[in-house]
Amino acid sequence: MHNVDVTLQDDDGKSLMLNCLFDSGSEVSVVKEVKEDAIKALEYQVLGEVQLKGFDRHKAQGHLISLQAKLNNDRMPIPIKLVACTHVSHDCLLSLADYQKLLAQDCETSLCDQARRMRYL
């Protein structure tokens, strides 16, 4: 198992850091949504309703939402779509596609920072 810290952020700048389980078998990232959970503090719009199917064929209903996400606090967040669902095993399951997008953003931002510093030397 591989865990990664991800910061989710809404359009108002409120943020939440979650320790996400990287799930290479997941087609979409999933975040736990319960009334007392911190995800409720973030402002997000529900884009639609989805039905999740687990590896054990268990089905659960969830809300498709969009939030900004980043791996490191000093990086620019990028928009990702997640499913907010009450019946999930971890606080956050991060799909391979979203993990790759976040890694690419992290690398691009680092290269941009390096290029900017070199230009001003």
Q: Which DSSP string do the residues of 22-67 spell out, in sequence order?
A: EETT-SSEEEE--TTSGGGGS---EEEEEEEE-TTS-EEEEEEEEE
CATH number at residue 108: 2.40.70.10
* pLDDT of 14 strictly over 60: yes
Contact criterion met (CB below 8 Å) for 82 and 28: yes
Measure CA of the first residue to CA of the last residue in the chain; give whole Å: 42
Q: Tokens 């799930």 identify what position? A: 23
Range of the domain at 72: 2-119
b/e code 75-92 from CB counts within 10 Å (16+ = b): bebbebbbbbbeebebbb
Which pLDDT tens digit goes with each residue over 32-83? 887 556 677 888 889 999 999 877 888 889 999 999 999 875 678 999 999 9
Distance, in Å, from the CA atom of 103 to the CA atom of 96, rounded to the nearest integer, reads 10
Distance, in Å, from the CA atom of 63 to the CA atom of 31, rounded to the nearest integer, reads 10
Which pLDDT tens digit goes with each residue over 72-107? 756 789 999 999 998 888 889 999 999 999 988 766
Distance, in Å, from the CA atom of 47 to the CA atom of 119, rounded to the nearest integer, reads 42
Alpha-helix runs per DSSP H in the chain: 96-119
Contact criterion met (CB below 8 Å) for 83 and 30: yes
Q: How many separate domains does the chain show?
A: 1
